[in-house]
Structure 1
Amino acid sequence: MTKKICAIFLMLLFIVPLSVQAQQHSFEIKNGDFVSDGKPVRVLSGEMHYPRIPHQYWRHRMQMLKAMGLNAVATYVFWNIHEPEPGEWDFEGDKNLAEYIRIAGEEGLMVILRPGPYVCAEWEFGGYPWWLQNVEGLELRRDNEQFLKYTQLYIDRLYQEVGDLQITKGGPIIMVQAENEFGSYVSQRKDIPLEEHRRYNAKIVQQLKDAGFDAPMFTSDGSWLFEGGSVPGALPTANGESNIDNLKKVVDEYNGGEGPYMVAEFYSGWLAHWLEPHPQVSATSTARQTEKYLQNNVSFNYYMAHGGTNFGFTSGANNDKTHGIQPDLTSYDYDAPVSEAGWVTPKFDSIRNVIQQYVDYPLPDAPEAMPVIEIAAIELDKIAILDTENLPKVQSDKPLTFEQLNQGYGYVLYRKHFNQPISGTLEVKGLRDYALVYADGEKAGELNRYFNNYTMDIDIPFNSTLEIFVENMGRINYGTEIVRNTKGIISPVTINDMVIEGGWEMIQFPMDKAPDFEEMNKNCVYDNTETVALSLIGRPALYKASFNLSETGDTFLDMEDWGKGIVFINGKNIGRYWSLGPQQTLYIPGCWLNEGENEIIIFEQQHDKPHSSVNTTKIPVLTTLKKLSTTE
């Protein structure tokens, strides 16, 4: 090696580290402020969740947040999508959290990471993997050895993915949240000593630190719940707190008498359930509260800035004293400033107009919306009934839960043959959550946990079969019932108060992928003529069609004329529909469509009338609620 080459090589050794070092940033909580690169900063953040957005659109949505005036994005981490089975991890595609964070950094956004392990978020089981319920001796969300063993495994694996993306390592992650709204849970679980609650919460903080998370930590609770939710060494932030004086008072009380002050969930919209009116939050009130925070040096995180979609079976549920379950919509539009499809809204404009008056950086223009198309009526040329003939069947003396069947989501058909006729009152008190009931192959009625409707009259003829087709409508994601979240039929079935035991048969339809018509029994697949469709009325049915596109774009599938079910587009489950509303359309991202041939499969559970086609529209319908009855 010549002296000249040696000299260049030595220069590079010095120059490269200096270049890397020049890109390093710092973020800390100091002297009552958030301090970025040595200067006080307000965190103006928007919540946006990676699996609710196709990864092809992540950068577009980040640019929307920047255009609204935000300097940060916050996201929960959803344990259950990353570990669908014990020890099997998935961080690919729409689950590639590290890539999501890197894109945020490239777009000039700081990142607030909210890893839970509990997240709520109107997400299935609050983010917990369903299979945790099968672990012997495990008790969720408390100081329990088995539970904490699995949370540590999750947190350690998460660190492998994103640990190097913390601000302390040169990445965009500025803060990490420990647990989530734990003070609320403490207030509801008074059967557990406060000391144990605090031990558990502190152990989650320690697990995060032991894994290597060293960015500033915070907790997130209602301001009146800090006693149960705050943890020493983590900044307490107040969800939904609009009273500035109260915000500062309670944060000072639990944070050594100084700020900074942050509202980690500033509700620019609100969650929506099936069968209930879609809540609306005005653009004016959101803008006024934004200005109030900015005038008083309060940082905030809009929940949500952009909601996105609960694709597949990811939507969760609530419950209250009236309803056994309140399943969340497929749409997670949330009445957010950026719509479900990534559009500018009046609320977006109102927020942008306020923020640009209080920041010293120019706001970029919003990127153009994704193209929107309307597809001509799609003719459904194939129809099929669910084939049970060649599917494996599980035999048991009593109905087994989804979890006992090692199934997380979808549907299970429970079947019981009777040699003698029986009639009277059928009661399925352990229904979780919705069922179609058949006697001797004929539809006898529906049961629905939403209405606490667990009984119906039944007449089962001689030598015939009772069938109960059960749907999991999403595990509860908030409150004390989260620890009682098994699905299917979870207690004995009775007729006239007599327990029906022995000879139960279970057939599983997890619908984790689109049904393959070609592999189904040929006797169950038909050309979709009116005569055939009418002959299949009352039984769950599958419709299929192929359609061609010369151009792709976002669109909305109009399901108002249908009953209840799910839809697959090119193999992707785009979510649940239910004509009772308020959601009547399903969002189809254009990036999931092909120029050329496409395939749609509709699984229609109720199938009260035949269908020959399905339409799309350019405008979503999310607020049309139909008249309800307790028999729906």
Structure 2
Amino acid sequence: MKKTIINFLNAVVFLAALLGCGKSSDQHSFTLGDSTFMLDNKPYQIISGEIHYPRVPREAWRARMKMAKAMGLNTIGTYVFWNLHEPEKGKFDFSGNNDIAAFVKIAKEEGLWVILRPSPYVCAEWEFGGYPYWLQNEKGLEVRSREKQYLSEYKKYIDEIGKQLAPLQINHGGNILMVQVENEYGSYGADKVYLEMNRKMFLEAGFDGLLYTCDPEKDIVKGHLKGLMPAINGQDNPLKVKQAVRSLNQGKGPFFIAEWYPAWFDWWGTPHHKVPADQYTGKLDTVLKEGISINMYMFHGGSTRGFMNGANFRDSIPFEPQISSYDYDAPLDEAGNATEKFMKFREVIAKHLPKDYSLPQVPEAKPSMALTSIKFDKEIGIFDYMGAGKVNEDPLTFEDMNQAYGYMVYKTKIAGGKKAELKIDGLRDYGIVFIDGERKGTMDRRLGQEQTILDVPQGSHTLEIFVENMGRINFGPNLLKNKKGIIGDVTFGGKILKGWTMYGLPLDKVDVSKISAVKSQKKTPVLKLGSFDVVNPSDTYLDFRRWGKGVVWVNGHNLGKYWSIGPQQTIYLPAEWLKKGKNEIIILELNKPEANVLTGLEQPILDQVNNDK
């Protein structure tokens, strides 16, 4: 009899889980039971997957939600990204792909609940961990601390997020089940007063539903705030999950793995991370069988477009900027198609469903196409493209120039007649050195390169250093050391160089009118303009194996960066951003300005590393 009752309760739990938030009624309650979540006073198991709205074209949000339902998910998790919503101080943006409220509402329409993670710090392999660059211009400001300026800017931000999203909480008739306070704070600090300040600001912003914290097992005590629900990241042993949560929650549950990792992310110059599904199916089965709730990080990674990739850097590892693809070897691939991992996870989830419930059919894979060769008929060297500069005795950083991302050219005079070392005390992060417009060498922060030998002829010459911001650090103790450009002195033969002119190249938009039909004669970085025709817009992958290093725009959308060192060799171009007929393409190429033909593939190449020096 006891076994029959348990089986019945399990069936109720999983039926509720798979049915999701539903569409018939907005009146729901979501609370904590001693061992499970309680939805409308009935046991509820969250089966969630992370999707980040800016990493997916807005036009494809609904399709990704349908895929989530087809795998058996009942909930979607997402961060909220401060640097997207307040790119400049006091200027907020919730339009287009930044319309997080629309993302949440579409999830509701598709019968999915949402777990919201709106803390100012997200990590997420995202530029500066989600912080806007301009915080570094506030003298003395310290992120993730009680410092007054930080708390002031934080409050302004979270209040704006509250205006957008607090009304969408389940206790207000919406589909946001719960909201995360801070993010893996225990991996950074242990200030409980600071955590309490976070909680208070969330409440004042209108987030008055269920609040929780999440941390890796080794940091969960430091990162938890008494009174909030504790959740654990990266641990899927049911016994250890329950022990960790009970130790902080008066011996009770519910039990939630806030980040359950089915794979990992990639960075430039290292092999693509790929883990067979079979290594996870048993763990998923066990976790679900034990009634533990989960959020897969990631269910669908998508792409980190524009200049939004972050970087890792600690004393024990070199600078590691992440690639533009956020495929993550996730169940749903970068283009939103089901993988083998998706199908096997679906099978595991289906095992636990009531006999009278069946999952929706899996949508067919989207069609893809291989573009014919694109030839570029217009180009301009970057030194001819850049506008007026700013003069200063010493080099200025991106932040000094109020420039968030992109590139900058530093120019000064240099006395020749010797062969000596050019040294940059703080290159952030990739530099190309020119003398009188002639390329002389590169420096790469990843490799610890901040110097090169120059043989300069007699006389006065122009030194130009083209610098790329390859992404601010998003994790660890160096969050406060994230200024970009040249952050210290530049010396030649031991003598400090003075009298600099800085030319900002944010390239948030490219001025097409400047790109002429004249070919650049020197090996400087170059902007190239071309077009291609499409009959039936379909997904495609731009093949950059014969190119060097740069970034690409199609129809005004910055698709992200490419680099021949890999592992990513293609850039995903979604069908949603293509047009029938003529499409515009722009490329900034740093290292191979002679490249002039680009092709497309039907499938991505994400696993090819080259020893490109």
Scaled by the length of structure 1, what TM-score is found?
Answer: 0.91
The corresponding residue for 1:526 is 517
Q: CA deviation digits over 1:481-500, x for unaligned, max 9?
A: 11110000001111222221
Tell me how far apart the structure 1 counterparts of residues 24 and 330 of structure 2 sit (CA, whole Å). 38
Residue pairs, 1:515-594, within 5 angstroms: 515-516=511-512, 518-519=513-514, 525-527=516-518, 532=519, 535-536=521-522, 538-594=523-579
Tell me how far apart the structure 2 counterparts of residues 616 and 157 of structure 1 sit (CA, whole Å). 41
Tell me how far apart the structure 1 counterparts of residues 437 and 575 of structure 2 sit (CA, whole Å). 40
Which of 446, 462, 468 aligns to 1:450? It is 446
Residue pairs, 1:346-425, within 5 angstroms: 346-360=340-354, 361-388=357-384, 391-418=387-414, 421-425=417-421
Offset at 1:458?
1.2
Offset at 1:596?
1.0
The corresponding residue for 2:149 is 146
The corresponding residue for 1:220 is 214
Q: 1:390 to 1:217 in 2, by over 3 A?
A: closer
Q: What SS class does the counterpart of residue 479 from structure 2 fall into?
A: helix
Q: What SS class does the counterpart of residue 305 from structure 1 fall into?
A: strand
Q: What SS class does the counterpart of residue 308 from structure 1 fall into?
A: coil
Aligned residues: 588
State whether structure 2 residue 598 is matched by structure 1 residue 602: no
Q: CA deviation digits over 1:328-380, x for unaligned, max 9?
A: 01000000000000011000001000001113342101223333122111121
The corresponding residue for 2:500 is 504
Tell me how far apart the structure 2 counterparts of residues 55 and 558 of structure 1 sit (CA, whole Å). 24
Q: Is the 8 A contact 1:439 1:459 kept in 2?
A: no
Offset at 1:547?
1.4
Q: What amino acid sits opposite 2:148 in the alignment? A: E
Q: Which structure 1 segments of 5+ residues have no match?
A: 1-19, 187-193
Offset at 1:422?
4.9
The corresponding residue for 1:170 is 173
The corresponding residue for 1:57 is 60
The corresponding residue for 1:312 is 306
State whether structure 2 residue 70 is matched by structure 1 residue 67: yes
Q: CA deviation digits over 1:550-596, x for unaligned, max 9?
A: 11011000001100000010111100000110000000011111101
Q: Which structure 2 segments of 5+ residues have no match?
A: 1-22
Offset at 1:246?
1.4
Q: What SS class does the counterpart of residue 392 from structure 1 fall into?
A: coil
State whether structure 2 residue 339 is matched by structure 1 residue 345: yes
Tell me how far apart the structure 2 counterparts of residues 519 and 418 of structure 1 sit (CA, whole Å). 29
**More displaced, 615-624 or 451-460?**
451-460
Aligned-residue RMSD, C-alpha: 1.5
Offset at 1:259?
0.6
The corresponding residue for 1:433 is 429
Q: Is the 8 A contact 1:374 1:617 kept in 2?
A: yes
**More displaced, 149-158 or 412-421?**
412-421
The corresponding residue for 2:599 is 615
The corresponding residue for 2:490 is 493
Q: What amino acid sits opposite 1:426 in the alignment? A: L
State whether structure 2 residue 474 is matched by structure 1 residue 477: yes
Q: What SS class does the counterpart of residue 304 from structure 1 fall into?
A: strand
The corresponding residue for 1:238 is 232
Q: What SS class does the counterpart of residue 336 from structure 2 fall into?
A: coil
State whether structure 2 residue 223 is matched by structure 1 residue 229: yes
Q: CA deviation digits over 1:460-511, x for unaligned, max 9?
A: 331211111000000000001111100000011112222212x101011101
The corresponding residue for 1:88 is 91
Tell me how far apart the structure 2 counterparts of residues 437 and 297 of structure 1 sit (CA, whole Å). 59
Tell me how far apart the structure 1 counterparts of residues 588 and 465 of structure 2 sit (CA, whole Å). 17
Q: What amino acid sits opposite 2:529 in the alignment? A: K
Q: What amino acid sits opposite 2:205 in the alignment? A: A
**More displaced, 453-462 or 560-569?**
453-462
Q: CA deviation digits over 1:182-232, x for unaligned, max 9?
A: 11112xxxxxxx4xx221112111110111101211111011212210011
State whether structure 2 residue 138 is matched by structure 1 residue 135: yes
Task: State the identity %.
Answer: 43
Tell me how far apart the structure 2 counterparts of residues 410 and 43 of structure 1 sit (CA, whole Å). 40
Offset at 1:389?
7.4
Tell me how far apart the structure 2 counterparts of residues 469 and 460 of structure 1 sit (CA, whole Å). 18
Offset at 1:419?
5.2
The corresponding residue for 2:32 is 29
Q: 1:555 to 1:567 in 2, by over 3 A?
A: same
Q: Is the 8 A contact 2:414 2:497 kept in 1?
A: no
Q: CA deviation digits over 1:117-151, x for unaligned, max 9?
A: 10000000000000000012211111111101111
Q: What SS class does the counterpart of residue 319 from structure 1 fall into?
A: strand
Which 4+ stretches in 1 moved above 6 angstroms?
Answer: none
Q: 1:320 to 1:137 in 2, by over 3 A?
A: closer
Offset at 1:114?
0.3
State whether structure 2 residue 288 is matched by structure 1 residue 298: no
The corresponding residue for 2:160 is 157
Which of 453, 461, 465 aligns to 1:464? It is 461
Q: CA deviation digits over 1:221-268, x for unaligned, max 9?
A: 011212210011211111010221111111101011111111100001
Q: What SS class does the counterpart of residue 188 from structure 2 fall into?
A: helix
The corresponding residue for 1:107 is 110
State whether structure 2 residue 268 is matched by structure 1 residue 274: yes
Q: Is the 8 A contact 1:323 1:449 kept in 2?
A: no
Which of 272, 277, 282 aligns to 1:283? It is 277
The corresponding residue for 2:15 is none
Q: Is the 8 A contact 1:567 1:576 kept in 2?
A: yes
Q: What amino acid sits opposite 1:394 in the alignment? A: K
Q: Is the 8 A contact 2:262 2:298 kept in 1?
A: yes
The corresponding residue for 2:50 is 47
Q: What amino acid sits opposite 1:585 in the alignment? A: T
State whether structure 2 residue 201 is matched by structure 1 residue 207: yes
Q: What SS class does the counterpart of residue 610 from structure 1 fall into?
A: coil
Tell me how far apart the structure 2 counterparts of residues 526 and 435 of structure 1 sit (CA, whole Å). 27
Q: Is the 8 A contact 2:125 2:309 kept in 1?
A: yes
Q: What SS class does the counterpart of residue 242 from structure 2 fall into?
A: helix
Q: Is the 8 A contact 1:273 1:327 kept in 2?
A: yes
Offset at 1:22?
4.5
Tell me how far apart the structure 2 counterparts of residues 570 and 22 of structure 1 sit (CA, whole Å). 41
**More displaced, 368-377 or 202-211?**
368-377
Offset at 1:544?
1.3
Offset at 1:323?
4.7
Q: What SS class does the counterpart of residue 118 from structure 1 fall into?
A: coil
Tell me how far apart the structure 2 counterparts of residues 616 and 90 of structure 1 sit (CA, whole Å). 33
Q: What SS class does the counterpart of residue 271 from structure 1 fall into?
A: coil
Q: CA deviation digits over 1:102-122, x for unaligned, max 9?
A: 010111111000011100000
Tell me how far apart the structure 2 counterparts of residues 315 and 22 of structure 1 sit (CA, whole Å). 40
Q: Is the 8 A contact 2:58 2:96 kept in 1?
A: yes
Tell me how far apart the structure 1 counterparts of residues 386 and 178 of structure 2 sit (CA, whole Å). 52
Q: What SS class does the counterpart of residue 483 from structure 1 fall into?
A: coil
Tell me how far apart the structure 1 counterparts of residues 24 and 70 of structure 2 sit (CA, whole Å). 29
Q: Is the 8 A contact 1:217 1:233 kept in 2?
A: no
Q: What SS class does the counterpart of residue 468 from structure 1 fall into?
A: strand
